[in-house]
Structure formats: C-alpha cells, structure tokens
Structure 1
Amino acid sequence: MKQSLLIFACASVLLAACGGQESTPAANGSAPAVAGGKGSISEDRSAAFKSFMPTMSKMGKMAKGDEAFSPEAFQAAAEQFSKEARVPFEHFQNDPNGNGDALPNIWANPEAFKAEQDKFLTAVDKLNEVAKTGKLEDIKTAFGNVGASCQSCHDTYRRPK
C-alpha cells in the first residue's frame, strides 16, 4: 500500500511538471524574467515532461494492480519511458522569458542538479532492465525508485504548488 501511494504521488508530481516562474535575472545578463512568466524553453521543458506521463501512468496502473499486469506490455512501456525520460533534460537552459516552476538553484548549482538528473536516469534504466525479467515485485520496487527520484528532484528544484 505504501509503495502504491508513493508511485502515484510521484506520478502526480510529474503530471504537474515544471510550470510558473520567479522573477530572477537571466543567465545572459538581460532583464529579469517576468514573475509568473514562462518562456519557450520552459514551455518545451514542460511539454517534454508531460509527454511521458501516459507511459508512466500505464506502468503505474499495472504496478498498482489497477490494470492487469502484462510483462510484455510493461516491458514495452519501460523501454519507451527510457527514451522519453531523457528528453526534458534537453530543455534545462535558463529561459530569459521565464522558467516556470523550475527554481533558480538549478542554474546556481548545476553540478547538484546534474547529480539528480543522473540519479533519475539511472533509476529509469534500472526499471527498463528489471522490466525485462517480468518479475512484478522487482518491477514495483524499481518503479518506486523512479518515483522517489522524481520526488527528490522536485523537492529541491521545483517551486511548490
């Protein structure tokens, strides 16, 4: 039960992915971003996170037991998610027109943010690997680890709602 709650709490956090903005100077020294603004880089970042939510949701429903577990379907979803999960990180440049809910400490401490990114992608790759075994209990654990990594990053680098 606790693991199911974690899985769906993390999926909910991901669904809300990187929205609104704080007024901070742009990295290039231009005028501060508009408070609450969201520029095209931030929009692309949000869209990339939201694009993998159907895959994440499908896996979550199977892991929780809301849908019948199909090892083949889960494996295909995990493989797809492994590709989709990398795309948002192509859009983490500081947006002079607004960074949505992405906090300034992403750019103030890029090494720490990169470590969170690496932790997430490692968990995603492990889920993809474990999905190939078809062992539901191991898959639940790996899926929970992905969700925990999402939550860890959002706790530090995403504006609370």
Structure 2
Amino acid sequence: MGGARGEEFAMNIRRAFLAGVLGGVVMAVLGKVVPVQLETILGTFFLPRGVGAWVLGLVLHLLISGAIALLYGLGFERITHRATAGIGVVFSILHVVIGGLAFGALPAIHPLIPEQIRAPGAFMSSIGFGGVLLFVIEHIVYGAIVGQLYGRVRHPRESMPVAPMGRPA
C-alpha cells in the first residue's frame, strides 16, 4: 500500500524544480530594470550589503523559484492533470497575490528596510504603476515557463467515453 500511495502523489520533481529555476532566471533579468532588487533584499538578510549579498540573494531567489515550481507541479498533477503554459499563467495569479503581499510585509521583517534599502511596497508599488505591472508580468512569464517546461504529467485525467450528442456514455 505504501508504494501505491507514493505513486499517487508522484510528480516530476526534477523537471518542476529546473523549470522554476529557469523561470527565476528570467524574472531576475526582467527585474534588473527597476530600482528594487529582490536579490539584494534576500541577500542582506544574511550578509552586509555588497556583491556577496547580491550573489547570495540570487542563489536564494533561484532556490525559492525552484521550490515554488514544485507547488505548481502539484497543481498540474493533482488539480488540472495536465501542464501547459496557459495553465501555468492561471496558477501564477495566486503566486502574484501571495508574492505581492509578501513584498508589502518586507519592512516588518527585514532589518535594512526602509532605512538602507528601498521598500518595494506591495506588488512593487513603491515605484508606481510600472513596478506593479512589471511584478505581474514577471510572475505571468514565470508561470508560463513552468507550465510549458513541466511537460507531461504523471497523473493525466482519465478521458470519459463520450456518447453521441456530447453526453457521457
């Protein structure tokens, strides 16, 4: 029974994680156009501001991106039973909401915000509409990448036989 239960929850962990890392790389590149740098924010939780903190922050960002993609993978396997770029975009809506609220909470938990590092604001609102738009676009692109690269799910939905006139048999 243990083997069957493990198979019931199986997913392509490696593919999900790598898709998330690639999505995180694209987000980091897109994020370079704004003054709010997630990598600096993450790295300065552990190191003084500088190149080392930025590199650590980038590594953390990519690890977090990979971990979040595992949640997308669970959704592909257990909710939609398929993975596509479009489904990844739909999943990214929840990701946008949670991430946007987390950005808003950073001043309460980060020792350098806002005294030494600019507070990003909820949904990167500290830099105006363009920041919010970029935040949403980054997450939509991430979701599309993860959905597209996840590939074939291990638990596709069984197709129902269909009788004439579109009614289930």
Q: TM-score, normalised by structure 1?
A: 0.32
Whichever structure has more helix as a proportion of its residues is: 2
Q: TM-score, normalised by structure 2?
A: 0.31
